[in-house]
Amino acid sequence: MTIERQEKGSRMSQVVVHGETIYLAGQIGEGPDMESQTRSMLAEVDRLLASAGTNKSNILSAQIWVADMAGVDDMNKVWDAWIDPANPPARACVESKLVAPEFLVEVMIIAAKA
């Protein structure tokens, strides 16, 4: 079985496709608050999934890290409006110190090909 790597750099690939499974690197967003960063982050997830031939309806699992659980309701509001309600993935959400203080949320996605 082949492994395809998309948008690769010296440290990581943004997308790795192995067989019928798609792995996204951790994605962050831009903006001054949790809602805007989540919206931006999920737009990037949409873009990367499309580049790999799938979409959010085929997400198998999502791991979400938030810098402060006080903002989780703001993140969930955007997530709930974005996710396909007929096909919600398995999901975990934890509080964690992210790579830089301006980052408030990060997500890592595993999806199936469409």
Looking at residue 42, its amino acid is L
pLDDT classification of 80: cutoffs 50, 70, 90: very high
Contact 28, 41 (CB under 8 A): yes
Mean pLDDT for 40-46 is 98
Q: Which residues pair with 95 in a beta bridge?
A: 66
Q: Considering the chain, what percentage of its residues have pLDDT values greater than 90?
A: 98
- Name the residue among 73, 66, 111, 114 with its Cα closest to residue 89: 111
Mean per-residue pLDDT over the chain, rounded: 97
Mean pLDDT for 57-81 is 98
Could you please report the per-residue DSSP string of 27-40? EE--SSSHHHHHHH
Contact 25, 14 (CB under 8 A): yes
pTM here is 0.95
User: What residue ranges define each of the domains in the chain, with the CATH number in brackets?
Assistant: 3-112 (3.30.1330.40)
Q: Give the dihedral sign, CA 24/13/98/101.
A: negative
Beta strand extents in 21-79 (DSSP E only): 21-24, 27-28, 59-66
pLDDT (0 to 100) of residue 1: 77
